[in-house]
Structure 1
Amino acid sequence: MAVSGTFKLFSFVNFHSQVNSGVTYECAITGRGSSQKTDGLSPRNFPNSHSSTPTQCTLFVPFIFCDYNATCIVGSNKVAMPLDTIYLTRHGHRLNWTIDHKTGTYFSQFPTPSGNPSDPALTSHGVRQSHELATHIVSGDVTPKPFRVYSSPFWRCLQTIEPSVRALGDAKKAQNGKGGTDGIDEQAEFEIRVENGLGEWFGSTTFFHHPAPPTISTLQSLKSGEAAPFTLNTTRNSPILYTSTRGESIPQLHNRLATALAGIIREVDAEITTIEASLPTEQRTSKAIFICSHAAPLIAIGRVLTGNMPADSSEEDFHVYTAGLSTFRRRGSGPAASKPGKGLLADGTMIANPDVTVVPEWEGGKGVGGGWDCVMNGDCSFLSGGAERGWHFNGEESFDTGPMSDPAVPAVPAED
Structure 2
Amino acid sequence: MIETLYITRHGFRSSWTTGDRSNRDDPLSDLGLTQAQDLATYLGSLEDNKRPTAIFSSPYHRCLQTSRAISIALEIPIYVDHWISEWYSDLTANKRVKQPEPPSADVLHGEFPEIDADAWSSLWYPPSHGENVAQITERMGTFLAKFIPAVETTFAPEKHERVLLVTHAAPVIALVRNLLHENEAESKTYCKPGCCSVTEFERNPDPEASLTWLPKRIGDSTHVSGDVREWGFEDYY
* Residue 86 of structure 1: aligned partner: 5
**Bigger relative contact order, structure 1 or 2, given CA contacts below 8 A and separation 6+?**
2
Work out which of the two has the higher radius of gyration on C-alpha atoms and give 1 or 2: 1
SS of residue matched to 1:394: helix
User: Which amino acid is the alignment partner of residue 212 of structure 1?
Assistant: E
Task: Find the residue that maps to 2:4 and give its secondary structure.
Answer: strand
Within-5 A mapping of 1:351-366: none
Distance 1:229 1:213 in 2: 13
Structure 1 gaps of 5+ residues are: 1-81, 98-107, 111-115, 170-189, 222-227, 277-284, 335-364, 398-416
Judge conservation of contact 1:325–1:380 (CA < 8 Å) in 2: yes
Q: 1:295: which partner in 2?
A: 169
The CA deviation at 1:109 is: 2.8
Query: Once the 2 structures are TM-superposed, how far is the Cα of residue 312 of structure 1 from its aligned partner?
Result: 5.9
Q: What TM-score results when the alignment is normalised by the length of structure 1?
A: 0.50
Q: Distance in 2 between matches of 1:156 and 1:117?
A: 12
Matched, 1:192 2:74: no
Of 242, 261, 285, the residue aligned with 2:125 is 242
Contact 2:6 2:200 in 1 (8 A): yes
Q: Which amino acid aligns with 1:375?
A: K
RMSD, aligned CA? 2.8
Cα deviation code 1:16-72 (max 9, x no counterpart): xxxxxxxxxxxxxxxxxxxxxxxxxxxxxxxxxxxxxxxxxxxxxxxxxxxxxxxxx
Higher helix share: 2
Aligned mate of 1:109, from 20, 36, 45 = 20
Extract structure 1 runs of 4+ deviating beyond 6 A: none
Letter in 1 for 2:114: T
Question: Where does the alignment leave 5 or more consecutive residues of structure 2 unmatched?
Answer: none
Query: C-alpha distance in 2, partners of 1:312/1:394?
Result: 14
| 1:328 corresponds to which of 168, 178, 201 | 201
Closer, same or farther: CA 88–380 of 1 in aligned 2, 3 Å: same
Residue identity matched to 1:166: I
CA distance in 1, matches of 2:60, 2:108: 10
Deviations 1:176-206 (A, max 9, x none): xxxxxxxxxxxxxx22111111011111236
Matched, 1:262 2:145: yes
Give the structure 1 partner of residue 37 of structure 2. Answer: 131
CA–CA separation in structure 2 for the residues paired with 1:236 and 1:286: 13
Where in structure 2 are the equivalents of 1:156-171 lying within 5 Å?
A: 156-169=62-75
Report the CA distance shift for 1:333/1:289 in structure 2 as closer, same or farther (over 3 A): farther
Cα deviation, residue 320, structure 1: 0.5
Superposed displacement of residue 218, structure 1? 3.3
1:145 shift after superposition: 1.6
Name the structure where strand makes up a greater proportion of residues.
Answer: 1
Do the aligned residues in 2 keep the contact of 1:162 with 1:230 (CA within 8 Å)?
no
DSSP-derived class of the 1:166 partner: helix
1:269 CA drift (Å):
2.2
Q: Deviations over 1:284-331 (max 9, x none)?
A: x88210111000110000111121224166x66223110111110112
- Overall identity of the aligned pairs, in %: 29
Read off the aligned partner of 1:200 and give its amino acid letter.
E
> For residue 92 of structure 1, what is the amino acid of its counterpart?
G
Q: Deviation at 1:126?
A: 0.6
| Cα distance in 2 for residues equivalent to 1:247 and 1:195 | 18
Query: What is the aligned residue count?
Result: 231
Contact 1:158 1:230 in 2 (8 A): no
Counterparts of 1:10-409 in structure 2, within 5 Å, are 82-96=1-15, 109=20, 117-140=23-46, 143-169=49-75, 190-204=76-90, 205=93, 208=96, 209-221=98-110, 228-236=111-119, 238-271=121-154, 274-276=156-158, 287-311=161-185, 317-331=190-204, 371-385=212-226, 388-394=228-234
Deviation, 1:230, is 4.4
Q: Is the 8 A contact 1:144 1:286 kept in 2?
A: no
